[in-house]
Amino acid sequence: MAIHDKKISRRKFLGLSTGALAGMMFSPGLSTLVRAGSGPVDPVPAGSRQFIASNCAMCVNKCGIIGEVVDGKLRKINPNKKHLKSRGMLCAKGNAGAALPYSSDRLKTPLLRTGERGEGKWKEISWDEAFKYVARNLADLKKEYKNRSTVAFASTEGFQEEFYYYLVNSFGSLNTVRHPTLCLSSNIQGWSSVFGVYPDADLKNAEFVIMLGSDRAQALITPDSVDFQRYKPKGQKLIVLDPRFTETGAKADRWYPVKPRTDQAFVLAMMHVIINENRYDKTFVETYTHGFEQLREMVQEYTPQWAEGKCEIPAAEIVKTAREFADHAPRSVIYPGRRSSFYTHEVYVRQTYAILAAICGCWDTKGGVVPKSSIDLDAHNIVFPFFMETRERMDKEATNLLKDVVPSAVQCPMIGTGLPTDSCAFLSEKDGSWISFREAVLNDNPYPVRGFVCFKQNPVQAVPNTAKTLEMLKKMEFICVIDQQMSDTAWYADIVLPHTTYLEGWDPAHSLSGIWPVVAFRQPMIEKMFNTKTMFEIAGGVIHEMLKIDSLWDDIDPADLTTFKKDIVEDVLDKPIQDFIRHQVKSHPGGWEQLLKEGFFTTEGGRPRYGYTRKPGFRFKTKTGRIEFFNERYKSAGLFPLPKYCEPEVLPEKGEYRFLVGRTAWNTHTSTQNNPYLWEIQKENALWIHTDEAGKMGIRSGDEVIVKSHIGAQRIKAYVTEKIRPDCLFYVNGWGRHSPWMSRVYKTGASEAEILDDVLDSISGSACMHETFVTVTKA
């Protein structure tokens, strides 16, 4: 600054009428600074470098990570090379997690809404106030509706979800709704109908693998995404059926662009070939299964020629694939996959896959489909009080819910007869069904739900048909969201509680089941940066406030309350979480130390336990205790017991395309698109459209187009490619945010939830995300 300017600026300052100012003095009473040494000192660390083992939380996989912490700051997240589940790898998201704590977008302190919902007017409140607010609202709702289930609790999976359920069970609502019906509930139901469990695939040792609709190269699942390529050079053959030429398709020995919704026909025809050519495993079938003759009879009509007409894959290819599958058995895998929220008949599709594995004896053996093992942890012996003022979960108690509000769910001509009209046939108690649950809430059927607590889930983006989700939120008198970031859903909340990131806090141990089971946990790598809390602390805080409100405990046995205070509050929530974790692993000598050092531990040297379901006397969790081709429970429920081919109930009209859902390797859910390191890989999504179709409409790559379903319309750039069937369209989720949640992806690309139809699979309660038909026009 020039001398001259200095003089001017000084004169300006001295020109202030300073009398009052000089006479006044601010004392440090409001100060945020203290003299060094006057409080517990947090010395500036210098030159320190630590490697801290933990587990990732950027998606559901929980891969092993080792944080490199320099001077108290997380510099890099490395893979844990010893980790049995993640095989020593770490994906783009896992690496990008290192930016998470240092993002300015984080929620930093509890926020209370002061304006209208969604208006974006908030005030900061203390945690004490927040806990009081939540407890008081829960109490008010209970008082008003005389039904604890009037508050719905939504959550996504994660280690801290355990403590979320402490809160849920302490309040006593039965209306919980989790992620599986947006993801894999039909898969679990279909495979379980045959084997009683939902198994894993031993891709490490398989010789022949068929993947139908699973994009393991991009939708990463550990260890599958690792194994299916890392060990491929050993001669593994990979067959991929997908309407899109995915990265997995690019890895395949043969890629079949299967007509959507007809994968089942392909597999039924394979069974036709294998059974009629006597290529199935007769010993296995005789020893372990039930209903083979009915199956044999059923598949007779499903000839390869018939299937060719359905799935548009040449009959000869089907025959070839069937023979190869049988030849490599039992080291053949028909891949169960993960997300199966595709079609209305998905449970039957998955049942079909499971039966194929069973007839060839590719079960519970090296290189086949193998039931998950898990390592037992010591649970805390706790019993939550039994509350009188609680009604059964609404998607169970509702009447005519499906018939009246989800007509598409009961239109399937094949399965129509026995389909439930009130609620889903085989609903998982805790998980609920997002689509039917939301319908029930919207219709107050059978009772009003007026409170909504949401832990790290983002239904506004994740559940098909955003408009309905917003409508559902409007019915609520109280909305509380616990999250790390201001998600689309948090934006509509009354109170937002900031959750500590997975890198700053302790998470309890979890047994991760699989062929290679491990116990994993999380420990902090860095100090907490802001005024956040973990679900463990939040549950404790809210429950303490709840205990101060008598009306919340007037419908239980007083003895229950005493036990509750002792067993749950004093013994668990009031103690450090480390005590909880130590208790969990107390049956595993050295387990705690191993967790601290490696972030995980395993037992039996981490070797797979093949064959325990093949031992004499083993009872499968089916009605007959055997592997069921003919499902007795389905029969009792009035459903078709065998996976008969289900013709689609609705077909695209002229000019309509089927909309597909898929993932990339750098974003799985809707929470990572704003991470700068992932954003720079993909800055917006684009609509995949086949070259010929685009040609007809004069659409070129980069042109703006409008994709429209009867739910909504989105504007997006086109990506003209040969990599998709001409009758399908696709864009990846995570962009075009409804509310501008994330600065980088706001208004770029298109949102999935905004156009997806809310179709329901009424057997498992799963959403059907591939049952939406759209049109496309040049913008």
Partner 1 sequence: MRQKRYTIVFDTQKCLNCKACTVACKFENEVPVGDDTYRIWVTEQPLQGRFPHLHQAFQPSQCQHCENAPCEHVCPTKATYRTPEGVVLVDYKKCILCKACMAACPYDARFVSEHHGAVEKCTLCAHRLEEGREPACVETCPTRVREFGDLNDPDSEVYRLLISRSHYRLKSEKNTRPRLYYLI
Partner 2 sequence: MIHHNRLPVNNCMGDWGQNIVERPAAPDQSHAVVLENCFFFSALLFRYPDDAVYHGIRENLQTFSDFLSAYGGQVPQVPPSEDLQAEYVGLFVNNKGFVPAVPYAAYHIDDGRLMGDSYDRLRQTMAETGFQLDPSVKELEDHLTILLEYAATLVRSVAGSEGADTGGHFEARALVEVTGNYIQPVIEAILPGIDQYATLDFYRIAARALREFIRDTAGIYEIIPGFPENAWSKKAE
Say if residues 377 and 651 touch (Cβ distance below 8 Å): no
The residues near 263 (Cβ < 8 Å, ≥ 6 apart) are: 212, 213, 241, 311, 349
Site map (CB under 8 A) of partner 2, residues 744-763, x = contact: --x-----------------
Tell me if 129 contacts partner 2 by CB under 8 A.
yes
CA distances from 55 to 81, 320, 471, 485, 673 (A): 12, 43, 37, 20, 21
Say if residues 761 and 345 touch (Cβ distance below 8 Å): yes
The Cα 716–Cα 731 span in angstroms is 9
Is the CB of 431 or the CB of 494 nearer to partner 2?
494
Residue selected from 249, 361, 591, 712 as contacting partner 1 according to rule CB under 8 A: 249
The Cα 159–Cα 695 span in angstroms is 49
Tell me if 739 contacts partner 2 by CB under 8 A.
yes
Residue selected from 54, 62, 85, 94 as contacting partner 1 according to rule CB under 8 A: 94
Is the CB of 72 or the CB of 314 nearer to partner 2?
72
Partner that binds at residue 105, options partner 1, partner 2, none, CB closer than 5 to 8 Å by kind: partner 2
Residue selected from 56, 220, 512, 520 as contacting partner 1 according to rule CB under 8 A: 220
Q: Which residue has the tokens 């109908």?
A: 193
> Smallest distance, Å, CB 664 to partner 1?
9
Provide the pairing of β-strand 208-212 with 237-241: parallel
Residue selected from 98, 107, 182, 585 as contacting partner 1 according to rule CB under 8 A: 98
Site map (CB under 8 A) of partner 1, residues 711-750, x = contact: ----------xxx-xx------------------------
Taking CB under 8 A as the binding criterion, the range among 162-170, 313-321, 472-480, 485-493 that sits at the site for partner 2 is 485-493
**Amino acid identity, position 403:** K
> Smallest distance, Å, CB 362 to partner 1?
23
Say if residues 714 and 738 touch (Cβ distance below 8 Å): no
Tell me if 677 contacts partner 1 by CB under 8 A.
yes
Residue selected from 210, 217, 419, 490 as contacting partner 1 according to rule CB under 8 A: 217
User: Alpha-carbon torsion 526, 527, 528, 530, what sign?
Assistant: negative
The Cα 202–Cα 366 span in angstroms is 7
Size of the site for partner 1 (CB under 8 A): 49
User: Alpha-carbon torsion 148, 151, 154, 160, what sign?
Assistant: negative
Residue selected from 229, 428, 511, 603 as contacting partner 1 according to rule CB under 8 A: 229
Tell me if 741 contacts partner 2 by CB under 8 A.
yes
Tell me if 776 contacts partner 1 by CB under 8 A.
no
**Amino acid identity, position 198:** Y
The Cα 576–Cα 536 span in angstroms is 10
Site map (CB under 8 A) of partner 2, residues 652-681, x = contact: ----------------------x-x-----
Output the six-digit token pair for 475. Answer: 């019915």
CB atoms within 10 A of CB 560: 15
Is the CB of 41 or the CB of 379 nearer to partner 2?
41
Output the six-digit token pair for 283. Answer: 């010993």
Tell me if 685 contacts partner 1 by CB under 8 A.
no
Tell me if 434 contacts partner 1 by CB under 8 A.
no
Which residues between 58 and 87 bind partner 1 (CB under 8 A)? Answer: 75-79, 81, 87
Is the CB of 319 or the CB of 495 nearer to partner 2?
495
Say if residues 335 and 174 touch (Cβ distance below 8 Å): no
> Smallest distance, Å, CB 572 to partner 1?
37
∠ Cα 304 408 623 (to 5°): 65
Say if residues 763 and 426 touch (Cβ distance below 8 Å): yes
- Among candidate residues 350, 191, 326, the one with its CA nearest the CA of residue 264: 350
Tell me if 640 contacts partner 2 by CB under 8 A.
no
Tell me if 381 contacts partner 2 by CB under 8 A.
no
Is the CB of 537 or the CB of 771 nearer to partner 2?
537
Partner that binds at residue 587, options partner 1, partner 2, none, CB closer than 5 to 8 Å by kind: none
CA distances from 145 to 80, 371, 450, 477 (A): 50, 44, 9, 12
Which residues between 255 and 314 bind partner 1 (CB under 8 A)? Answer: 255-257
Residue selected from 678, 711, 750, 753 as contacting partner 1 according to rule CB under 8 A: 678
> Smallest distance, Å, CB 289 to partner 2?
52
The Cα 527–Cα 254 span in angstroms is 50
Coil, strand or helix: which one is 704?
A: strand
> Smallest distance, Å, CB 170 to partner 2?
24
Say if residues 336 and 751 touch (Cβ distance below 8 Å): no
Tell me if 691 contacts partner 1 by CB under 8 A.
yes
- Among candidate residues 429, 201, 431, the one with its CA nearest the CA of residue 333: 201
Site map (CB under 8 A) of partner 2, residues 490-509, x = contact: -x------------------
Query: What are the phi and psi torsion angles at 204 (to 5°)?
Result: -70, -35
Q: Which residue has the tokens 């199956």?
A: 295
> Smallest distance, Å, CB 78 to partner 1?
7
Tell me if 6 contacts partner 2 by CB under 8 A.
yes
Residue selected from 475, 740, 777, 779 as contacting partner 2 according to rule CB under 8 A: 740
> Smallest distance, Å, CB 163 to partner 2?
21
Partner that binds at residue 741, options partner 1, partner 2, none, CB closer than 5 to 8 Å by kind: partner 2
Say if residues 252 and 214 touch (Cβ distance below 8 Å): no
- Among candidate residues 761, 773, 638, the one with its CA nearest the CA of residue 350: 761
Which residues between 27 and 56 bind partner 2 (CB under 8 A)? Answer: 27-36, 39-44
**Amino acid identity, position 675:** N
Tell me if 18 contacts partner 2 by CB under 8 A.
yes
Residue selected from 54, 55, 95, 289 as contacting partner 1 according to rule CB under 8 A: 95
Residue selected from 82, 88, 125, 547 as contacting partner 2 according to rule CB under 8 A: 125
Is the CB of 427 or the CB of 742 nearer to partner 2?
742
> Smallest distance, Å, CB 102 to partner 2?
4
User: Alpha-carbon torsion 125, 129, 135, 141, what sign?
Assistant: negative
Is the CB of 78 or the CB of 714 nearer to partner 1?
78
**Amino acid identity, position 670:** T
Taking CB under 8 A as the binding criterion, the range among 242-250, 400-408, 560-568, 701-709 that sits at the site for partner 1 is 242-250
Helix axes 434-442, 466-474, angle to 10 degrees: 50
| Cβ burial, residue 715 (10 Å; 0-12/13-18/19+) | middle
User: Alpha-carbon torsion 401, 403, 405, 407, what sign?
Assistant: positive
Partner that binds at residue 235, options partner 1, partner 2, none, CB closer than 5 to 8 Å by kind: none
The Cα 79–Cα 51 span in angstroms is 11
> Smallest distance, Å, CB 331 to partner 2?
48
> Smallest distance, Å, CB 66 to partner 2?
20
Say if residues 258 and 252 touch (Cβ distance below 8 Å): no
Is the CB of 41 or the CB of 559 nearer to partner 2?
41
Tell me if 128 contacts partner 2 by CB under 8 A.
yes
Taking CB under 8 A as the binding criterion, the range among 115-123, 168-176, 356-364, 570-578 that sits at the site for partner 2 is 115-123
Output the six-digit token pair for 214. Answer: 């699973």
The residues near 220 (Cβ < 8 Å, ≥ 6 apart) are: 59, 61, 91, 665, 668
Footprint of partner 1 on this chain (CB under 8 A)? 75-79, 81, 87-92, 94-96, 98, 217-218, 220, 222, 225-226, 229-230, 232-233, 245, 247, 249-251, 255-257, 665-666, 676-681, 690-691, 721-723, 725-726
